[in-house]
A = this chain, B = another copy of it.
Amino acid sequence: MNHLSDYLESPIRSGIFTGISEEMRPKIFSAGQRRFVKAGTTLFHEADAARQCYFVQKGRLKLTKQHIEGKEAIVRYINPGEMTAAVAVFKENTYPVTASAVEDTTVVGWDRPTILKILSDYPSLTINLLSGALDRLEEMQKRYLELCAERVEQRIARALLRIMRRSGRKTHEGVVIDFRLSRQDLADYTGATLYTVSRILSAWEKKGWISSGREKIMVNDPHALVAFADNG
């Protein structure tokens, strides 16, 4: 028998601080600057000089990449406990994406010299950072393959499952996505259009796989979605 929680990632997973004792962590945080990012506002812009990297304490960030005519693609969501913009540390470079807050968010930011000092004090952090980068690379490659090979319906199923696993909250009726997620967001995440996403979600709602409202999606039958994603 499958349980809903089988479909969720354990919360402490990305483990940027794996191998670093609890007592050291406040020390690391206090070397950076805490910053509050209001829902809907931007933490950093694509193509701006990358000065700081960030750790999300509370809330949620959305990484997007712009293309012609106001359209954008969602690269990934950053959950509490994760880092982003490692590029600021290792390259004298610009941010490759824009980070904006999906909900009210608190981050800790470190500038280049500070984080380099920390990394040399705690070598396992560098390894964890690299490990995280490799994870994201692999995920991106998977999504690229999906975009090449699968049709919209399957991609949306996978996207929903992926987001649910990382940001879902279990309730008595199903797993609810724990932040505002519009049809347009899902479209930007999967490379589809608002219209197509809406049509497909409607169909799934009729089948009882999900239930949805305005910027709200709950997955009632994850197993059906998995089966659908896997065999078409």
Q: Which of A's residues lie within 8 Å of B, judged by CB? A: 65, 67-68, 71, 73, 75, 86-87, 90-91, 96-97, 126-127, 129-131, 133-134, 136-138, 140-145, 147-150, 191
Q: How many copies does the complex hold?
A: 2
| A142 surroundings in chain B (CB, below 8 A) | 65, 96
Q: How far is the CA of A73 from the CA of B146 in the complex (A)?
A: 10
Q: How far is the CA of A68 from the CA of B126 in the complex (A)?
A: 37
Determine which of B67, B96, B134 lies in contact with A138 in the assembled complex, contact meaning CB atoms within 8 Å.
B96
- Contact between B145 and A144, CB atoms less than 8 A apart: no
- Contact between A144 and B86, CB atoms less than 8 A apart: no
- Shortest 5 CB-CB contacts between residues of A and residues of B: A148-B191, A140-B140, A67-B149, A130-B130, A133-B133
A148 to chain B: closest residue by CB: B191
Nearest-Cβ distance from residue A229 to partner chain B, whole angstroms: 12
Known: A67-B149, A73-B149, A149-B71. A140 touches B144 (CB 8 A): yes
